[in-house]
Amino acid sequence: MATREQLGTRGGAFQADVALMVRKAGGEVDVVSLQAARLSMFDAAVPWREFRWYRGQRHFSGSYWSATMQAPVGYESRLEYANLLLADFDPRVDWILSQPFLLEGVDQGKRRRHIPDYLIVHADHTACVVDVKPAEKLIIPKVRDSLSWSRRVIEPHGWEYRVQSEPDEVLLRNVQFLAGYRRSFQFLDDEVAAALGELRSPMAVGGSARDHARRRRTSGSARPRPAPAVDAAAEHRPDATSERHEHCGACLRITTSPPEGDSDEQHVDNEARSGHRLRR
């Protein structure tokens, strides 16, 4: 990936007393003013806090294997996991870091410290700082004031700031189903290429894609392909229907109903079916 740099400001006044702290893999901490922060600072960064698991824990922490990062990315709640899944599926997202930094500054005489949930960098080198909160908590004065302060100090630096809550359930289930097929190490390149050929070849009028593939296999023009390879290739179809969603610029393909079958990313889907809500 090319070196990532901050690209100017959006307007507004910098708050000179706001410090940004980045933890490095060796344990050292870099401290700079927010005004002096550059995205290249995060090349060797690690999450500010460790992701812990213990008996009686109120939140569901874990790590998700990100196709974008080709490595695990942490989360501290099921709601963070859901939003991480969508960010990882966004074709414009180039890099993701959870709990990227600690912000510290003074807000109207009150000392504030805040750790955002994610820092996302897009392919055009623009940055998006993300906080994930349940919608019902956004009206709590303490939460609202903290997020408002974060927005006021981050946006003048030229980084986008977003507060994200519960995603659309159908969108999440579709992306959750497809996520397992984005792990390139699970599929042979020639199988994916062959599946793409199946999807791009013309079909007889009135015939379904499944019937068309069956006829080709029966005729010997193409040997059987595993279904996952077809699913993985489907993401590359130039004529696939798409719908735009406001999730850091995501353009995600969805269907109008939840997909049939299960994937290996089950804990959110199982929770939704058992009647539990995504919580922070």
3-state helix/strand/coil string of the chain: CCCCCCCCCCCCCCCCCCEEEEEECCCCEEEEEHHHCCHHHHHHECCCCCCCCCCCCCCCCEEEEECCCCEEEEECCHHHHHHHHHHHHCCCEEEEEECCCEEEEEECCEEEEECCCEEEEECCCCEEEEEECCHHHCCCHHHHHHHHHHHHHHHHHCCEEEEECCCCHHHHHHHHHHHHHHCHHHCCHHHHHHHHHHHHCCCCCCCCHHHHHHHHHHHCCCCCCCHHHHHHHHCCCCCCCCEECCCCCCEECCCCCCCCCCCCCCHHHHHHHCCCCCCC
6 lies in a domain? no
Domain-ending residue, one of 106, 140, 164: 164
Question: What pLDDT score was predicted for residue 212?
Answer: 57
181 lies in a domain? yes
Residues 32 and 139 in one domain: yes
Domain-ending residue, one of 164, 187, 218: 164
279 lies in a domain? no
Domain-ending residue, one of 146, 164, 182: 164
- Number of structural domains, the chain? 2
Domain with 47 in it: what CATH number? 3.40.1350.10
Residues 29 and 160 in one domain: yes
Query: Which residue segment(s) compose the domain that 231 sits in?
Result: 169-244+250-273
Residues 151 and 215 in one domain: no
141 lies in a domain? yes
Residue-by-residue pLDDT tens, the chain, 280 positions: 333 333 333 444 455 589 999 999 888 999 999 999 999 999 999 999 877 666 776 778 889 999 999 999 999 999 999 999 999 999 999 999 999 999 999 998 899 999 999 999 999 999 999 999 999 999 999 999 999 999 999 999 999 999 999 999 999 999 999 988 888 788 888 988 888 888 888 764 555 556 655 655 555 544 444 455 545 555 554 444 344 344 544 434 333 344 444 443 434 344 433 444 444 4
Residues 56 and 143 in one domain: yes
- What pairs with residue 132 in β-bridges? 164
